[in-house]
Amino acid sequence: MTFPLQKTEELGLDRPTFIWTINLSYRGDRGASAEPGDLTSVYGTIPGRWLPMAAAARGAGLAEERDGRWYLTERGRGLAAAMHEAARAHYATLTPLPKDELAELARLLDRAFLAAAKAPEPATRVHTPFAFGYRGEDPPAGSFAQLDAAVYGLWQVRDDCHMAAWRASGRSGPEVEVLTRLWRDEAADDAALADLLTHQRPEDVSATVKRLRKDGLVEPAALTTTAGGASVRQKIEDETDRLFFTPWPEDVGARGSWIAEKLIGVNSALG
């Protein structure tokens, strides 16, 4: 969770400067990431990009480094837990759908999450454990808190499925991130592409485009994928979907259209 600057005094912090950069990522008793590797995006190419955040957290007395690993202090754990509980209390006031529809949506997605989280694939799970830490004690059945935990959990599971899919393709995270942007035709020129990938150095982005062109995945004179590049990226998406959706209970999957409709309703009500 990231703290708005104007709220830091309410949180009992006496050093508001830079607090907006601190993300404690509530994960139950574990708290924030313990290892530097957890804080480094697999899609980034800027070493130590997370260090200012870590330094700010340490300066505020929320985190400490010991033997190359990062830990929340007692104060940091307490603040993370308090913010998590405050969020849960706020969720109890939200009624974005009629009560029976909210309960059914939460129940269905929670079942999907638990099934996907415990599936044998993908074998490597980096993000899924975060979802169980975030849940803490199981939220009340049928509540918005249960829906929140289920959606967050499914997001973490899909991250793991996607990482497994692109690693199986033989590409690196930064390469896949660039390929994805070009596959979606999101950048008109090199500068626009670099602006989209702030966690990569512009020279690394340019080098990746050059590499992808050499491999025949990007058009020689345009920032868009070739037919071969589109096929490679689509296969990654298809494998992500296979890993993610295969474990879902059949009766949950059968209600996919209803789930999508109600999630749109939730977003509209909260927007």
How does pLDDT run across 145-197, given as a tens digit for each residue?
A: 999 999 999 999 999 999 999 999 999 999 999 999 999 999 999 999 999 99
Token pair of 55 as six digits: 């330094």
Q: Is 70 exceeded by the pLDDT of residue 60? A: yes
How does pLDDT run across 66-90, given as a tens digit for each residue?
A: 877 778 889 988 888 888 889 989 9
The pLDDT score that the predictor gives to residue 19 is 36
Q: What is the mean pLDDT of the chain?
A: 87
Lowest-confidence range among 27-31, 46-50, 235-239? 27-31
Residue of 156, 150, 147 whose CA lies nearest to 113? 150
Domain ranges of the chain: 5-78, 95-271
Whether residue 12 contacts residue 60, with contact meaning beta carbons closer than 8 Å, is answered with no
Residue type at 49?
R
Q: Is 90 exceeded by the pLDDT of residue 12? A: no
Cα–Cα distance measured from residue 94 to residue 97, given in angstroms and rounded to the nearest whole number: 9
Architecture of the domain whose range is 95-271: Orthogonal Bundle (1.10)
The structure's pTM equals 0.85
Report the pLDDT averaged over residues 44-60: 85
